């Protein structure tokens, strides 16, 4: 009996297993090292096509190793290798150009359509503040200082009507600093917009205040120019870029509210899950808004200072308004419908996958043994 003991140098299954699979692991290891060093693109089409296969093969090796091998070093190696490969395989992978077109032709308008209630709230808050400030300032011009004190830049009730009018049709004075002005305006506005989104994490209260304050300034301005009979001139001056800019501000506010919604009212889901979903879609909206602010900066910095005709200014304003309505209302609808159809068809499968992803930390090795015996 003694002769038949286990210590005879007969090959163990785990040793044989390692011998058989080692080449695959090393191929994957080399590929990952190359990708980490020189970027994924350095791999070339042929290798790139092999990568998922090698990854899956190694993943299944890990599974098998967990169930048949007690070599800790081997399991550690496979875990680490698969982890490294996982970064590459499940990191963001699409080409930038493809991603950009995807973003602007579908994701952005679609996300904005789904956020319509948040957008409505955001718009109502700003409009309400504007109307209130307008009425108050119209009743007593002294209120202007309270509402728009910081933003006045010399445009106050103390200025003469001629001065105010000149401000709206000023084309020479700034011509040199025009571009700088547009650029700093854009970066300032965009920063405030991003902040409006980010402060959504504080239950959205600062977002609310930012929107409200913005509305107050707008209303006070309108009341001041209205009191001098310059309403039409003011709107013609403001709206060409204002349509885009104000929409962007409203969108940033909506993004902040969406984040706050995810945090404060998670509904039936775990707070973290709800936050994650709302946060991602809010980020998409903010990126869209930043792009809009950039466009608004261009219009404001260049177009407005060179064109003074009210008719042309208002036409441009109207065109941008129609353009945005079309973009947000209709672009990417077809893909929305496709997605909805797909979601309905294999609803059972999707739910299953979801449940699986939620499975809380399962114990590693012991449970795997049942599943992956096929490998040999």
Partner 1 sequence: MNPASLAALRPEEQSDLAREIVTPEGIPLRFTLARAGDRAAAFALDMLVQVLVLVAVSWGLSLATGGGNASWLTAMVVVLAFLLVNFYFAFFEVRWQGATPGKRRIGIRVIDARGGQLETSAVLARNLIRELEVWMPLRFLLAGGLMWPDAPGWAQLLAGCWAFAFLFMPVFNKDRLRIGDMIAGTRVVMQPKVVLVPDLAQEASAVPVFAPAGTRPVAAYTFSPAQLAIYGVYELQVLERLLRTERFDASYLEALRTVSEKVRQKIRYEGQVSDDERFLREFYAAQRAHLEQKMLFGQRRQDKFSK
According to the binding rule CB under 8 A, does residue 92 interact with partner 1?
Answer: yes
Tell me, by CB under 8 A, how many residues bind partner 1.
Answer: 101
Judged by beta carbon, residue 359 or residue 374, the one nearer partner 1 is 359
Q: Tell the smallest beta-carbon distance from residue 194 to partner 1 (Å).
A: 5
According to the binding rule CB under 8 A, does residue 105 interact with partner 1?
Answer: no
Half-sphere exposure of 257 (CA within 13 A, CB side): 22
CA–CA distance, 5 with 43 (Å, rounded to integer)? 49
According to the binding rule CB under 8 A, does residue 5 interact with partner 1?
Answer: yes
Name every residue whose Cβ is closer than 8 Å to that of residue 251 and which is 6 or more positions away in sequence. Answer: 112, 119, 122, 193, 285, 286, 288, 289, 292
Closest by CA position to 119, among listed 211, 8, 37: 211
357-376: which residues touch partner 1 (CB under 8 A)? 357-359, 361-362, 364-366, 368-369
* 59, 364 Cβ separation under 8 angstroms: no
Residue 290 tokens read as: 């930043």
Q: Tell the smallest beta-carbon distance from residue 32 to partner 1 (Å).
A: 8
Stretch of 117-125, 158-166, 229-237, 269-277 lying at the interface with partner 1 (CB under 8 A): 269-277
Tell which one of 31, 43, 51, 81 touches partner 1 (CB under 8 A): 81
According to the binding rule CB under 8 A, does residue 197 interact with partner 1?
Answer: yes
Judged by beta carbon, residue 154 or residue 370, the one nearer partner 1 is 370
Q: Tell the smallest beta-carbon distance from residue 218 to partner 1 (Å).
A: 23
* 129, 216 Cβ separation under 8 angstroms: yes
Tell which one of 47, 279, 291, 307 touches partner 1 (CB under 8 A): 279
**SS3 labels along 240-251:** HHHHHHHHHHHH
According to the binding rule CB under 8 A, does residue 182 interact with partner 1?
Answer: yes
Judged by beta carbon, residue 7 or residue 160, the one nearer partner 1 is 7
Judged by beta carbon, residue 66 or residue 143, the one nearer partner 1 is 66
Q: Could you count the other beta carbons within 10 Å of the beta carbon of residue 229?
A: 10
Judged by beta carbon, residue 10 or residue 268, the one nearer partner 1 is 10
Judged by beta carbon, residue 239 or residue 250, the one nearer partner 1 is 250
CA–CA distance, 124 with 211 (Å, rounded to integer)? 10
Residue 316 tokens read as: 């441009």
Longest alpha-carbon distance in the chain = 114
CA–CA distance, 14 with 69 (Å, rounded to integer)? 5
22-51: which residues touch partner 1 (CB under 8 A)? 22, 25-26, 29, 32, 36, 39-40
Tokens 């984040």 sit on residue: 259
According to the binding rule CB under 8 A, does residue 347 interact with partner 1?
Answer: no
CA–CA distance, 279 with 281 (Å, rounded to integer)? 6
Question: Binding pattern to partner 1, positions 225-254, x when CB under 8 A?
Answer: ------------------------------
Tell which one of 112, 259, 299, 316 touches partner 1 (CB under 8 A): 259
Closest by CA position to 65, among listed 80, 84, 87, 86: 80
102, 318, 325 from 244: Cα distances, Å: 22, 11, 11
Tell which one of 38, 42, 49, 93 touches partner 1 (CB under 8 A): 93
Judged by beta carbon, residue 25 or residue 225, the one nearer partner 1 is 25
């Amino acid at each position: 009996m003694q002769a038949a003991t286990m210590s005879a140098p007969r090959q163990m299954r785990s040793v044989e297993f390692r011998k058989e699979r080692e080449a695959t692991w090393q191929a994957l290891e080399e590929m990952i090292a190359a990708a980490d060093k020189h970027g994924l693109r350095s791999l070339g089409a042929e290798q790139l096509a092999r990568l998922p296969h090698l990854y899956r093969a190694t993943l299944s090796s890990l599974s098998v190793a967990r169930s048949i091998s007690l070599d800790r070093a081997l399991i550690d190696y496979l875990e680490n290798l698969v982890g490294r490969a996982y970064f590459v395989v499940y990191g963001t992978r699409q080409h930038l150009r493809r991603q950009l077109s995807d973003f602007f032709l579908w994701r952005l308008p679609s996300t904005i359509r789904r956020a319509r209630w948040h957008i409505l709230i955001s718009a109502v808050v700003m409009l309400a503040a504007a109307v209130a400030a307008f009425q108050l300032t119209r009743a007593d011009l002294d209120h202007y200082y309270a509402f728009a004190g910081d933003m006045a830049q010399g445009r106050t009730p103390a200025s003469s009507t001629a001065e105010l009018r000149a401000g709206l049709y000023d084309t020479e004075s700034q011509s040199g600093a025009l571009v700088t002005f547009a650029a700093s305006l854009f970066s300032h506005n965009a920063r405030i917009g991003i902040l409006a989104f980010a402060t959504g994490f504080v239950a959205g209260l600062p977002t609310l205040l930012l929107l409200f304050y913005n509305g107050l300034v707008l209303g006070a301005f309108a009341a001041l120019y209205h009191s001098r009979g310059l309403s039409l001139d003011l709107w013609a001056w403001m709206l060409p870029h204002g349509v885009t800019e104000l929409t962007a501000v409203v969108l940033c506010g909506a993004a902040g509210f969406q984040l706050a919604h995810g945090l404060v009212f998670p509904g039936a889901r775990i707070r973290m899950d709800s936050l994650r979903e709302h946060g991602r879609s809010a980020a998409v909206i903010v990126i869209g808004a930043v792009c809009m602010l950039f466009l608004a900066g261009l219009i404001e910095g260049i177009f407005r200072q060179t064109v003074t005709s009210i008719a042309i200014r208002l036409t441009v304003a109207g065109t941008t308004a129609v353009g945005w309505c079309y973009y947000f209302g209709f672009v990417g609808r077809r893909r929305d419908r496709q997605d909805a159809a797909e979601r309905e068809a294999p609803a059972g499968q999707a739910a299953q996958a979801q449940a699986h992803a939620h499975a809380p930390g399962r114990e590693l090795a012991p449970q795997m043994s049942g599943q992956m015996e096929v490998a040999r």
